[in-house]
Amino acid sequence: MSDDTALGYRPCVGLIVTKGDGRVFAGRRNDLTPDDPAAWQLPQGGIDEDEGIVAAGLRELEEETGIPASLVQVEAVAAAPVAYDIPEAARPAHWRGRWRGQAITWVRLRYLGTDGDVGVATAHPEFADWRWDDPARLAAHIVPFKREAYRAALDLLTERA
């Protein structure tokens, strides 16, 4: 076991895209099998240097889901990021071992489009499929090391806009 406590956390934005009926967008990761119970997650991605949280979120949203910024309304931004660690054995495969995990700042977005406006078959697809999901099921359908971060997402989801 190596000592990588000196490694930091990659700045990341996570997106809670809500539909009018209370469900949230969830994508099935394209690197996991459809029957994997932890294959589903919310859109998320790194924040580029000199990029704001909301700008990064809107960029990631379009890159991962095909949804343009014009089809969402920003409702809330978490006051602080929540960090999670990637399992140590998997770290070399993520970001060339540069980070121990991610510090994710959640952004809640209201979706204004239709299902036909979503397209996960993007230039660099993250998701193989997508669905509108019950927020209460989210933590059960995510890889275990992200579950606490997803509980923070649920807290932001229940805050008033």
Beta-bridge mates of residue 13: 45, 105
**Each residue's pLDDT tens digit, 41-65:** 999 999 999 999 999 999 999 999 9
- The answer on pLDDT for 17 being more than 60 is yes
Q: Give the CATH class of 8-158.
A: alpha beta
Higher pLDDT, 39 or 69: 69
- What local confidence, expressed as pLDDT, does residue 25 receive? 97
- The answer on pLDDT for 161 being more than 70 is no
Average pLDDT of 7-31?
93
- What local confidence, expressed as pLDDT, does residue 152 receive? 82
State which of 53-57, 81-85, 100-104, 156-160 shows the largest mean pLDDT: 53-57
Domain residue limits, the chain:
8-158
State which of 1-15, 30-44, 73-87 shows the largest mean pLDDT: 73-87
Q: What is the pTM of this model?
A: 0.88
**Each residue's pLDDT tens digit, 86-121:** 877 766 666 666 788 899 999 999 999 999 999 999
- What local confidence, expressed as pLDDT, does residue 98 receive? 79
Angle at 50 between CA 46 and CA 51, to 5 degrees: 50
